[in-house]
Amino acid sequence: MDFDNWLLFSSIALVATITPGPAVLLVASHSIAYGVGRTVYTILGNITGLLVMSLLSVLGLSAVIMFSATAFGGIQTIGALYLVYLGIRLWRYGFFSAPSKLESPRWSGTALRFYTQGLMVALSNPKAIIFTAALFPQFFDHGRPLVPQFTLLTATFMTYSFVCLFLYARVSAATGANIRNSRLEKLLSRLFASLFVGAGIGLVTAT
């Protein structure tokens, strides 16, 4: 792969990962409530989902999903319902009082739960499917081995995603440390909850 092609891909991927979406909302809400350390599991789950979608794009399966009204509609519905569920849960319990919050230093349950949530948000986001299906094939040089090119593009995409989400987590964690047990915490948790629900509604109403 030529350096110019990689640089163009990198620019597009960077813009895509910086732009706020459901993954950023999830990472920010987890980081406000639990801090950066535990939110890393959410980020790892999300980039695992990106890896899966990147593999599907190479195999051509994401294109099939994208052009199948039934499959695409099903993914939209699942993604929308999950985002609405997260929003309702956050509205009811806030950042710091959810009944599933672990107070002990043992992180195993939190790690698995956060990883799974990050993975599900990535896999159930049809916009991410469209992005990977449309982007990756454009940058492959079919005259060269596919595996090294795929590895480079995927590693670039996942690295940018991890770094951007980690930075969002750091900023959000600082916010959480300043608003704990305050009126602003309740206001902010309900704002995030509304954004989750709005993102879910946006998925199913998007044309």
pLDDT tens digits, residue range 67-90? 566 666 666 677 677 677 777 877
Residue 183 lies in a domain: yes
Is pLDDT of 195 > 60? Answer: yes
Q: Please tell me which residue, 130 or 35, carries the higher pLDDT value.
A: 35
Q: What is the mean pLDDT of residues 127-139?
A: 71
Assess if residue 161 is contained within a domain: yes
Which of 29 and 177 is assigned the larger pLDDT? 29
Q: Which of residues 101 and 129 earns the better pLDDT score? A: 129
> What pLDDT, on the 0 to 100 scale, is given for residue 160?
93
Examine residue 16 and state whether it is found in any structural domain, yes or no. Answer: no
Length in residues, the chain: 207
Residue 192: inside a domain: yes
On whether residue 187 sits in a domain, the answer given is yes
Residue 177 inside a domain? The answer is yes
DSSP annotation of 182 reads S
Q: 105, 34 in Cβ contact below 8 A?
A: no
Query: Is the separation of the CB atoms in 42 and 26 below 8 Å?
Result: yes
Domain, as residue range, for 86 = 33-205
- Classify 35 in phi/psi space as left (phi over 0), alpha (psi -120 to 50) or beta: left
Q: Are 169 and 29 in contact (CB under 8 A)?
A: no
pLDDT greater than 80 at residue 65: no
Let me know if residue 178 belongs to a domain: yes
Residue predicted with more confidence, 157 or 207: 157
pLDDT at 103 over 50: no
Return the percentage of the chain with pLDDT > 90, whole number.
17
- Average pLDDT estimate for 59-63: 59
Has residue 64 been placed in a domain? yes
pLDDT of 106 strictly over 70: no
Domain count, the chain: 1
- The predicted structure's pLDDT at residue 107: 45
Q: What does the DSSP 8-state code read for residue 155?
A: H
